[in-house]
């Protein structure tokens, strides 16, 4: 069975830039994705979302559909590289485990997430994360 691979934000960005058939999926809530910001080019498929904050029962199917529509010339579950990102790397690890259990072969997650862990002042974005490393991002 394939293993889950942790990637730093910089390694994830490099993989996306150099690996054909790769996709970055932002799994945070809709509010986080829109208002906190998200990596440029990422696709939003929430793992847990408002209003009930329950796991998305269709998550693996939604990812499968995305890959099938984007990469018609390959077998997506076997050949596509799926990189997941959340706020700090915890939810993305859970979602990645679910994708591996559903039969996806190349699943990774951004270990620092989009905002990184909280610092001593309880602020995010100062210790790590996609934005901290100056990678391309946008917000509404």
For the chain, domain boundaries: 5-132
pTM higher than 0.75 for the full model? Answer: yes
**What CATH number belongs to 5-132?**
3.40.250.10
What's the per-residue H, E or C state across the chain? Answer: CCCCEEECHHHHHHHHHHCCCEEEEECCCHHHHHHHCEECCCEECCCEECCCCEECCCHHHHHHHHHHHHCCCCCHHHHCEEEEECCCCHHHHHHHHHHHHCCCCEEEEECCCCCCCCCCCCCCCCCCCCCCCCCCEECC
pLDDT for res 3:
65
Contact criterion met (CB below 8 Å) for 80 and 67: yes
Contacts of 134 (CB under 8 A, 6+ apart): none
| Model confidence pLDDT, tens digit, residues 49-94 | 888 899 999 999 999 999 999 999 998 888 999 999 999 989 999 9
| Model confidence pLDDT, tens digit, residues 88-132 | 989 999 999 999 999 999 999 999 999 988 888 888 888 899 999
The whole-angstrom separation of Cα 43 and Cα 23 is: 8
């Amino acid at each position: 069975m394939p293993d889950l691979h942790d990637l730093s934000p910089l390694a994830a960005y490099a993989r996306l830039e150099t690996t054909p058939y790769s996709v970055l999926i932002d799994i945070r809530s809709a509010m986080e994705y829109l208002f906190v910001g998200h990596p440029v080019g990422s696709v939003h498929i929430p793992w847990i979302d408002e209003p009930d904050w329950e796991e998305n029962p269709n998550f693996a199917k939604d990812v499968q559909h995305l890959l099938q529509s984007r990469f018609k010339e390959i077998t997506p579950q076997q050949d596509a590289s799926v990189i997941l990102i959340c706020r700090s790397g915890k939810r993305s690890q859970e979602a990645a485990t679910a994708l591996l259990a559903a039969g996806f072969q190349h699943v990774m997650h951004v270990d620092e997430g989009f905002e990184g862990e909280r610092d001593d002042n309880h602020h995010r974005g100062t210790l790590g994360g996609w934005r901290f490393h100056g990678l391309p991002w946008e917000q509404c």
